[in-house]
Amino acid sequence: MRRPRCGLPAISERSGTAVKGLTVASRDAMTQCCVIVPRNWPRKQLDQKYASKFEARREPSHEEYVMTKKTDADPSQPSLRPATRLVVGGRDPAANHGFVNPPVHHVSTVLYPTAEDFLARRSRYLYGRRGTPTSEALENALRELEGPACAGVALLPSGLAAISTALLALLNAGDHLLVTDSVYQPTRNFCDGVLKRYGITTTYYDPLIGTGIAALIRPNTRAVFVEAPGSLSFEMQDVPAIAAAAHAMGAVVLMDNTWASPLYFRAFDKGVDLSIQAATKYIGGHSDVMLGTVSANKATWERLSDTVHALGLCVGPDDIYLGLRGLRTLGVRLAQHYQSGLKIARWLEQRPEVARVLHPALASCPGHAIWQRDFSGASGLFSIVLKPVADTAVHAFLNELSLFGIGASWGGFESLAIPFNCASFRTATKWAPGGPTVRIHIGLEDTDDLIGDLERGFAALAAAR
Q: Torsions phi, psi of 220, nearest 5?
A: -100, 15
Q: Which of 85, 91, 188, 281 is catalytic?
A: 281
The bridge status of strand 34-37 relative to strand 9-11 is unpaired
CA distances from 314 to 129, 165, 270, 317, 409 (A): 5, 12, 29, 9, 22
Active site residue 184: yes
Is 27 a residue of the active site?
A: no
Please give the Cα distance from 219 to 175 (Å, whole number): 9
How does DSSP assign 395-458, residue by residue? HHHHHH-SSEE--S---SSSEEEEEE--TTT-SSS----SS-EEEEE--SS-HHHHHHHHHHHH
Active-site residue (options: 184, 205, 264, 282): 184
Q: How far apart are CA 331 and CA 341, in angstroms?
A: 15
- 211 vs 240: CA distance, rounded Å: 9
**Beta-bridge partner residues of 252:** 223
Structural contact between residues 412 and 289, judged by C-beta atoms closer than 8 angstroms: no
Contacts within 8 Å (CB) and 24+ apart, 23-27: 23/67, 23/68, 24/65, 24/66, 24/67, 24/68, 25/66, 25/67, 25/68
d(CA 30, CA 109): 26
DSSP 79: T
Among the options 57, 58, 129, 426, which is catalytic?
Answer: 129
Looking at beta carbons, which pairs linking 317-320 to residues 24 or more positions away fall under 8 Å?
317/104, 317/105, 317/106, 317/107, 317/132, 317/134, 317/135, 318/104, 319/157, 319/289, 319/290, 319/291, 320/104, 320/134, 320/135, 320/137, 320/138, 320/155, 320/291
Q: Which amino acid is at 84?
A: T
Reply yes or no on whether 222 is catalytic.
Answer: no
Write out the catalytic residue numbers: 129, 184, 256, 281
